[in-house]
Structure 1
């Protein structure tokens, strides 16, 4: 696209004024004092010059190139004043070098040999071009014999300052700089490195070096990033921190490998930190010598879809040329708990934000938001000016600054800047965020002036009860005059955290409370943003205040009552169901079991699951006991919650009683029966406690005779569930005619516990004559009765008939 040059009005008026002033005598002198903080400038003398009063437009500054080529940093700039009329006019060009580069490089003894390039400027006569090598200009003496031009490093501002010579007579002025720093050679020969950054910033401003009027208020800006060589490895930039892997076998314990190659870097200690949905969950996780680490996050509530972020944190062991102990980090590695993720249909992409843009600027900046990284999603951001794409670049989806340099171009009032993010997911159609727009301004409000500067307030995004951290956001701020910002966070008027050196782009910040402290309901959280401007008084934003509330809504949290299944006297377990409960804020549950009001057991239970709790060994339930259960809910830092008590009455255990009539046979004294009788609820290990009685019933069900049965353990040693009884001949001979059945009743400890009819299971007799079944036993005549064993519906019985008397007639 074509960026139109600003039209300068009133040139003829300015020219006329200059011609008029040129007839004045030379009565004033202007002296330029070279900054005393620059390195090794003790031998440079400032020169007294004798200019006429001059007048001119401000300079138009542009970056034509910022690139790292084969380890050599190349900066090409242009600065031109459309009108610079006068005698003895001079251009002063200041190139601000990113402090990370400047402090490390210019603190190296003998750094001058790595500087190269040249400067093009108006000739001393004011007609034609003059070129001088940077090596000749650097730290050049000034004075009557040496000229007025020089170049040097200003330590205070991290800037390279370049003065042109004074033109005898000029109608315009310019100074174009090609600066090279052979940083790769410097690094290899000195063993020094520059701290790695996402980008390195540069600024350019040219002004008149004499006392002429200057209307320029801003500076051109540019960056070196990975698009133009700012992402090299094994060179002058310290190598990247290697990212970690992250895995889990149970979605609770996480592990990975973060081994570092420890080459081309400052000596550093490394640890790993984990974030859960963007909040710090664990830090200072140590690695073994192989780079392996492991961390259990089971105390945290990790639902399906929870995002776990892992990154390596490096803390350098000492200060470097920048005078700081630097902290650095790797890119983030992601893990999603469970199989749930945001599907494509529900996936939304967050739009970027833009800083205010002004006429004449050469750098567009803003903030890129954190994006969803599930399902291998990746992102690209695009910047347009007046509908034409000027920049497109991939980014890792994290919350980062957006910096777009314009080479050999400037922004102009009224232009429309637009930016948006495109999301990519394999196998799916791309998605696009909303478009953020900004109209280029003219700075009519003169926001560069201190009196018009307003520091915007922070927002408090997260200050919850029981939290150990506070999340705040500093909005995009005024960017003029090298202003920087500071965030102060207070709890109950006690300062707990300060974030310094915040750029005008602001950002999101996490302030961790002192060890062992948590926010409580009613605490007051306060955030203040302080603005700093060199050589000016600080400015402060309005205070942002928030009172910590019970975000968990503990007051309205209610527990759903558990269910309790029927309990019998023989049960050893209590069973039922726990309905769905609230599991927010790490809530968990226990179930209390009571018998007749006494708590016997308390065990953890899970929401929306069945429970089964075994009673203690010393507890025996009895008929009419009361069994009750109650759910107890726990939330950290809060009182427990209780459900209603759910109870039931213990029922008698009606276990079925069955019998196995094994054999029957005749003896001389009567009819003998043997077999077993069973009930799972009976204890039949002690024969002395057991009494068995056989009832002989007639056809109407009336008991006509009772016969005692002997206890036996013939079938199961030590278990007296066996029986033997005899219906003797006297009984058999006295029974009236009819059919009789047999029923057995069992008493334990004097109480009747059950009864049942005898039932055939075994067909063969053991003594007497052998038959196929009980019904085949032969009839026997006893005392005038014919006694015949019979089977009635598979139950043993007896038929009595009378012996027919012989007819004596």
Structure 2
């Protein structure tokens, strides 16, 4: 077998399984039909008996059959490519056929393919191949191309015969003919046909083909003496219609079921999609709408019980007729859900298959498979034997349908015994098996192909019950000769409610009780249900079985059914808003469900459905009053029957003794700080019924202090001046409730801890000034509650904070007692040149963390004071010069009323680059500038002068220094600068106030020409 696509080749000499083989549904305007389950499962290659038949199976050679004077068989039936079907047949006459004779070979294609394909104009161009036969004059073989045989209208030709629905080959006339043969090798290119015409063939589990050859002087019967084959083809987006997509199924309460089955019409006949829901295989909901996103939901109420199997499938109702004149209904695969526990292993039974009666000479075995229990992932296989030898043993999907199994190059003979048995498997348990069904091969002495001997066997009818939504039963095996077909017809009260097509194999049926576009209806008592089978044979009068009738009876025990009474709690007191009711067990058979009603003085105040058998609490909107009467009852519902009501239980409301339930609500007490003169206690709302009164008891460290009257929802102040309180003392308050003739009740006790009085932290930044080694800060931070007499126990940490509130660096301050000889509240710290030179560009402030005995006591900014000074030159911190350290321009500023500084970089356009600027330690000098002239200014190593010129604000020169010598240093920074470009300029202290003086460096050559001139001021 050429395995070019995903397909399974099955012929009439090879076993095939199919569920829902009767996919075509004849739907009346007032009937909805239920089609059994479908599957697209590929089948495993069977072990056939005898052994040599297994080898033939791989080649796909089916049986040769007789009955017309010819033997016919398929030599090959495959799908050569994705959509090109190949049928290779061989037909031989069994005896000399005489003089001046013709013969005809008919190919009957599956009705779904034939209906669409042969209704297409120009279908002939998609059929090719060859026919081999004897020459009409000479005893030699002759081969004819099929595509040349469609043009002739007489003589040797090929054509489609609408009466027999067969593709016919008619041979030429033979003047004299002995034994004849005809070999056909035919290709039907359905893929190209689909591409050209956009037509689709209805999806089926398999597609059947047959071939038969007869003399032209007899009426052509395509069903008798034919060899059959079948192809199972399973892939999407081809000439075969795409599958209906299945849904998922979910529920939160085992009543409301929902899912999503998103559909589209790509490569499908245009359809309307709805859903069907089943309980244990019985339809209970149909025409469930799917929205544009495929979402659906439906509520089954109390129809299902624990252990029931819920299943759902999508139904596609096609909008237009196909080429065969039928508007098909298609179905998705079923999805399953089990309510509660599944059917236990001990109660699980495997249902038996059926076998069609077999006759002498037949090579195919047919039968039906019933629906099986699929809970707990149970699986099944079907075993077929002939005379005790295994013919096949194949997995089946457990849904109802048909099967076929064939013998290869052999046939059954009278007296052979054929058996069928289904085995069930559940993981962790021994297999279970059905009863063995046995058929003994008979001789067809009665001539059952004869219309007069044909009997249509009556169906069986499942006992109809009140509330059923469908009529179901089983059609037994029927007469299979002459291509006979059958229908099962159901009536309700003498009116037809639905019918559906069935094959001669019969099988289970289910016909929904529904009128078109309406919801399902249910059976009522005394409804009359009837079913019968109609048989059809071409050009013959239909035959009917006898009618099976049953009247719907009450088999539910309705008359004996009693709704059990609920029980209200024994005592109900006034002011009650919650009532406990004991709900008894109820009978849930036959779809029964229950509502609970609670009434006060005859008025229903609460209704609830499907309460569990347990004690439930009902909360009322209004509190009960003395002498009101509370009643409870349960209403039982059964489909199609009148409701039943339980006996009522009633309780009269009595006066309430509320002391036991009375609770004294807990007070609140405000915080108490050392030095407070009173304690503030607040009582919440209290119960004032029964003339109840209240007092508050105040205690100190567990010992009573005082008791005072307090009202509901009142705050009082209790005097503390006569009590000696200390920090960390515990003050507690309890409310005592009094009711006449009853013991006092006490609230819960609340406590507060007396806290020490908080003292503010004082921070004074006194001064800041530049030194050659960095920026120095001095000040004081103090709190009266701190112990600051031991400098070793005090640690002050200063943190440099950027504008993102991030700590960039930190330094410990020195403790000083400059401001109070008895307290080390003062501090001095230095931000070193190294620390300042490592900062990035930005604004920075300072925060101080104070630790006493390694415990953080406070975190505070450095607060400037009005008397703050800043070194010898300036009186204000913000007037301090901008200093340069490692290219960082550091300018002291006040930020957010805090001392801080900004960091910037050299102006890229500056003629002179400043590396460092600082105060000299020598008394005679003030500012010092370390810098360089950019390397792109080439200075001769000799023969140039660097001159320092200081001018005041009027422009008058107040100081000059000629010939600044080069400094052999890189100031700890690697610079690719010639030594002659480096300089150091020292400004006398008298001229070091940048606000009053300007500093310039002028570089000249030996001729006095200016090479470069620039300003040093950074302010």
TM over 0.5: yes
Shift of 1:293: 0.5
- Counterpart check, 1:499 vs 2:500: yes
Q: Deviations over 1:603-659 (max 9, x none)?
A: 33625211334567364234xx87654433232432332334445676676666899
Conserved in 1, the CA contact under 8 Å of 2:523 and 2:640? Answer: no
The correspondence for 1:717, drawn from 712, 722, 732, is: 712
Match of 2:224 in 1: 218
Match of 1:200 in 2: 207
Q: 1:682 to 1:545 in 2, by over 3 A?
A: farther
Conserved in 1, the CA contact under 8 Å of 2:284 and 2:469? Answer: no
Q: 1:222 to 1:382 in 2, by over 3 A?
A: farther
Q: 1:658 to 1:80 in 2, by over 3 A?
A: closer
Question: Across the two proteins, how many residue pairs are aligned to each other?
Answer: 621
Match of 1:363 in 2: 364
Shift of 1:582: 0.6
Q: C-alpha distance in 1, partners of 2:643/2:243? A: 49
Q: Deviations over 1:77-107 (max 9, x none)?
A: 3333433353345433222211211121122
Task: Report SS of the residue matched to 1:437.
Answer: strand
Q: C-alpha distance in 1, partners of 2:662/2:499? A: 86
Q: 1:115 to 1:410 in 2, by over 3 A?
A: farther
Conserved in 2, the CA contact under 8 Å of 1:489 and 1:511? Answer: no
Match of 1:313 in 2: 315
Moved more, 586-595 or 411-420: 586-595
- Counterpart check, 1:79 vs 2:81: no
Shift of 1:508: 1.0
Shift of 1:461: 1.8
Q: C-alpha distance in 1, partners of 2:522/2:343? A: 32
Shift of 1:112: 1.9
Q: 1:127 to 1:556 in 2, by over 3 A?
A: farther
Q: C-alpha distance in 1, partners of 2:371/2:255? A: 24
Q: C-alpha distance in 2, partners of 1:602/1:255? A: 29
Match of 1:442 in 2: 443
Task: Report SS of the residue matched to 2:689.
Answer: coil
Pairing of 1:659-670 with structure 2 (within 5 A): none
Match of 2:640 in 1: 637
Shift of 1:545: 0.9
Q: 1:481 to 1:322 in 2, by over 3 A?
A: same
Shift of 1:445: 1.4
Match of 2:856 in 1: none
Pairing of 1:701-740 with structure 2 (within 5 A): 714-717=709-712
Conserved in 2, the CA contact under 8 Å of 1:484 and 1:504? Answer: no
Q: 1:640 to 1:187 in 2, by over 3 A?
A: closer
Q: C-alpha distance in 1, partners of 2:511/2:662? A: 77
- Counterpart check, 1:610 vs 2:615: yes
- Counterpart check, 1:330 vs 2:341: no
Match of 1:481 in 2: 482
Q: Deviations over 1:111-134 (max 9, x none)?
A: 222222333445546956544333
Q: C-alpha distance in 1, partners of 2:662/2:311? A: 68
Match of 1:13 in 2: none
- Counterpart check, 1:99 vs 2:100: no
Shift of 1:580: 1.0
Q: C-alpha distance in 1, partners of 2:505/2:660? A: 88
Q: 1:126 to 1:394 in 2, by over 3 A?
A: farther
Pairing of 1:343-382 with structure 2 (within 5 A): 343-382=344-383
Q: Deviations over 1:480-500 (max 9, x none)?
A: 122222232222212222324
Task: Report SS of the residue matched to 2:448.
Answer: coil
The correspondence for 1:118, drawn from 130, 138, 143, is: 130
Q: Deviations over 1:16-42 (max 9, x none)?
A: xxxxxxxxxxxxxxxxxxxxxxxxxxx
Q: C-alpha distance in 2, partners of 1:114/1:584? A: 60
Task: Report SS of the residue matched to 2:571.
Answer: coil
Q: Deviations over 1:387-409 (max 9, x none)?
A: 44444544432212223355655
Conserved in 1, the CA contact under 8 Å of 2:72 and 2:227? Answer: no
Q: C-alpha distance in 2, partners of 1:538/1:106? A: 27
Q: C-alpha distance in 2, partners of 1:327/1:352? A: 26
Task: Report SS of the residue matched to 2:147.
Answer: helix
- Counterpart check, 1:555 vs 2:559: yes
- Counterpart check, 1:276 vs 2:279: yes
Match of 1:581 in 2: 586
Q: C-alpha distance in 2, partners of 1:564/1:199? A: 64
Match of 1:62 in 2: 73
Q: Deviations over 1:338-368 (max 9, x none)?
A: 3x12244443322221222233334332222
Q: 1:359 to 1:658 in 2, by over 3 A?
A: closer
Structure 2, unaligned runs of 5 or more: 1-11, 14-66, 664-685, 694-706, 715-737, 748-1019
Q: C-alpha distance in 1, partners of 2:572/2:326? A: 75
Shift of 1:592: 4.7
Q: C-alpha distance in 1, partners of 2:536/2:635? A: 54
Pairing of 1:17-416 with structure 2 (within 5 A): 58-70=69-81, 71-84=83-96, 86-124=98-136, 129-138=141-150, 140-142=152-154, 148-210=155-217, 218-226=224-232, 230-260=233-263, 262-289=265-292, 291-338=293-340, 340-404=341-405, 408-416=409-417
Q: C-alpha distance in 2, partners of 1:484/1:415? A: 27
Structure 1, unaligned runs of 5 or more: 5-55, 143-147, 661-679, 688-711, 720-744, 747-753, 763-809
Pairing of 1:459-478 with structure 2 (within 5 A): 459-461=460-462, 463-478=464-479
Task: Report SS of the residue matched to 2:186.
Answer: strand
Q: C-alpha distance in 2, partners of 1:203/1:717? A: 99
Q: 1:682 to 1:586 in 2, by over 3 A?
A: farther
Q: 1:208 to 1:458 in 2, by over 3 A?
A: same
Match of 1:532 in 2: 536
Task: Report SS of the residue matched to 2:462.
Answer: strand
Q: C-alpha distance in 2, partners of 1:306/1:458? A: 27
Q: C-alpha distance in 2, partners of 1:267/1:529? A: 32
Q: 1:186 to 1:320 in 2, by over 3 A?
A: same
Match of 2:800 in 1: none
Using structure 2 for the length normalisation, give the TM-score.
0.55
The correspondence for 1:545, drawn from 545, 549, 553, is: 549
Task: Report SS of the residue matched to 1:189.
Answer: helix
Q: C-alpha distance in 2, partners of 1:91/1:158? A: 18
Q: 1:539 to 1:559 in 2, by over 3 A?
A: same
Task: Report SS of the residue matched to 2:491.
Answer: strand
Q: C-alpha distance in 2, partners of 1:415/1:659? A: 91
Q: 1:534 to 1:197 in 2, by over 3 A?
A: same
